[in-house]
Amino acid sequence: MTSVVLNQEDARASTETYTYSSYPRVVPNRKRYQEHYVNNGQEGPINYGNLMYDRRVVRGNTYAMQMLSWSPEPEPAEIKKRHEAHKKMLERQQLKKENEVHPPEIKDVGNRSDVQTELYLEEILDRIIEVDIECQTDAFIKRLSSPVFIPQKTGVDVATQIEEGELFDFDVEVKPMLEVLVGKTLEQALLEVREEEDLSNLRAHQHVYQELRNAELAEVQRLEEKERRHSEEKRRRMAKQHEIKAKRETVSKKVAAQAFSFQYLADLFPSAFFNLRSQGFFYDEVQRDIEKGFLPYVMGRVELRLQKTLLGRIMTDGLINEVIKKRLDSFEENKLLPKSPRYKILKNQASQFSRNAAMLKKPTDFRRPSMRQ
């Protein structure tokens, strides 16, 4: 049993003590180099660390390493997050203030007066007795300091006995690791140098190959351009020859068609002109003017003169007819015999005059039809 007493000031304030107890046990003896050790009665393998396979050890080229920023300033995402949180907090406070129920504000405090609210109003005349009373408090007593809080200990304590030579000897243990690290570093450096030399040789070879390839491409392009020009010239000349041949064939066909048309139309022109002349399409201008202009005028004047003459004849026949009718009437009044020769003569004359008048009343066409030669 072990007892631990706190400091003197705490001991004065409290009479309690903190106690701790553990069961004693035998410390196991271990060899200097062993693969297993005893831990709380359980055996397990020791996981030794190899620096060659430790991810915290940097290997190879360190130029492309991602270095962490040493600036104490936070990242932009963190700043944005803080601003958003502060903005949300302000919005919540504003919403809380808006939702709070405030008592109504009282204004015009100076115009207030005391009012009785009892059933019957009474006039207050007596003065209330006022007495001043004083009191004195006790002297201030300082509060005792609180004892230091020591949490209750949990778990089981374990002790280990270290013999001489069991600890890590830096000079002896680190030398092989340092040799391995230096050797690997030199080997990696040599590999990188060789790799750079190989890359430079490859670049030089690639440059030479690119120059040869560009020269070959230029020569190929020149030959292709030459072949293209030859083919275009060939196509142009062939097209020209085909065009000349087509023109020759067209001219020969036109000449043959012209000769055939001359031979075919040799007898066609006279017959066509003869038919057109016979149908009146070709005429003499003087004759056509006489037929279309002079003869219609003359015939119109003649017709007008004949109509006037006919009108005179009709009027004369009418007068004669009236005279004959009057004579017949006079003969009938005188009771002449109808069989007398004079009566028959007068009757025949009257019928003849009536027929002549009827014939004269019919219109007569004196116009001459036009003739085409």
Arithmetic mean of pLDDT, 278-290: 79
Report the residue count for the chain.
373
Within 8 A by CB and 6+ apart from 325, the residues are 350
d(CA 364, CA 305): 12
Q: In Å, what is the CA distance from 45 to each residue of 42, 110, 198?
A: 10, 91, 46
CA dihedral 315→321→322→327, nearest 10 degrees, is: 150
In this structure, the number of other CB atoms found within 10 A of the CB of residue 353 comes to 19
Residue 290 token pair = 């006489």
- Calculate the average pLDDT of the chain: 76
d(CA 363, CA 310): 10
Lowest model confidence (mean pLDDT) among 125-129, 190-194, 292-296: 125-129
d(CA 242, CA 283): 53
Lowest model confidence (mean pLDDT) among 80-84, 163-167, 339-343: 339-343
Q: What is the pLDDT of residue 21?
A: 60
Contact 324, 346 (CB under 8 A): yes
Q: What is the pLDDT of residue 1?
A: 37
Model-level pTM?
0.23
* In the predicted structure, residue 355 carries a pLDDT above the cut 60: yes
For the chain, what percent of residues have pLDDT higher than 90? 23
Tell me the domain boundaries of the chain: 285-335
Evaluated on CA atoms 329, 335, 339, 345, the torsion sign reads negative
Phi-psi sector, 40: left (phi>0), alpha (psi -120 to 50), beta:
left
In this structure, the number of other CB atoms found within 10 A of the CB of residue 51 comes to 13
* In the predicted structure, residue 249 carries a pLDDT above the cut 90: yes
What ranges in the chain are assigned the alpha helix state H?
Answer: 8-13, 76-99, 170-264, 268-278, 285-289, 295-333, 341-361
Q: In Å, what is the CA distance from 286 to each residue of 147, 230, 278, 291, 373?
A: 160, 76, 18, 9, 13
Residue written as tokens 């302000």? 90
Arithmetic mean of pLDDT, 329-357: 63
Evaluated on CA atoms 220, 226, 230, 235, the torsion sign reads positive
